[in-house]
Amino acid sequence: MAAPGLHIHEKLIEECRRGSRKAQFRLYELYSKAMFNTAYRIMGNREEAEDMLQEAFTDCFRKIGSYRTDSTFGAWLKTIVINRCISKLRKREAEMIYIDDYSRYEMPPDEPSEMHWPDPKVITRAVERLPEGYRVVFSLYLLEGYDHTEISQILGISESTSKTQYARAKEKLKKILSEMHRDG
């Protein structure tokens, strides 16, 4: 049984199960911004993120009968959004750079604690410029909070590949940010 207060929108969810369009619209209002942000970070493109958001909510309302209360509705919906985005990326047959032998790749040292980060909008633009494979792993790990084991399962790659993609994404992001800073 789930912890009390875990399902704050239980009545809305039940109304959705009964087909209430009004309840569906209310859930959309409550969750669409956060789910759009998730889709946008993975897709790196506003139009595709909007498409994925609409498709994810369509899936959500079609499958709402299968929602179980062992997780929050938001977590369940986020899984649908991420899976929808990953499916879209796979359909595009994105060329992701995978390296299965992680031991050959040296991890860079962590950033100095006094590093000056640019404006979040600049970082967002830089993340958009990452190669697709890097961006997906970077977003799932750093922004969505998945660990490398979970990412490997979601993407169908090895855990070491996920770690390598993430390490390389960080290096590439530093380079992009440096270029953006230099170019003014």
pLDDT, tens digit (0-9, with 9 covering 90-100), for 91-137 = 775 444 454 444 444 445 555 445 565 677 888 888 888 888 888 89
Average pLDDT over residues 83-98: 72
Specify the domain boundaries for CATH 1.10.10.10 within the chain.
102-183
Residue type, 132: E
Q: Which CATH number fits domain 10-91: 3.40.50.20, 1.10.1740.10, 3.40.50.150, 3.40.50.970?
A: 1.10.1740.10
Tokens representing residue 178 in the block: 């440096």
Distance CA 81, CA 21 (A): 20
Distance CA 56, CA 36 (A): 10
Name the DSSP letter for residue 156: T
Does this model's pTM top 0.85? My answer is no
Specify the domain boundaries for CATH 1.10.1740.10 within the chain.
10-91
Give SS3 for 6: coil
Q: Which CATH class is domain 102-183?
A: mainly alpha
How does pLDDT run across 130-168, given as a tens digit for each residue? 888 888 899 889 888 888 888 888 888 889 988 999 999
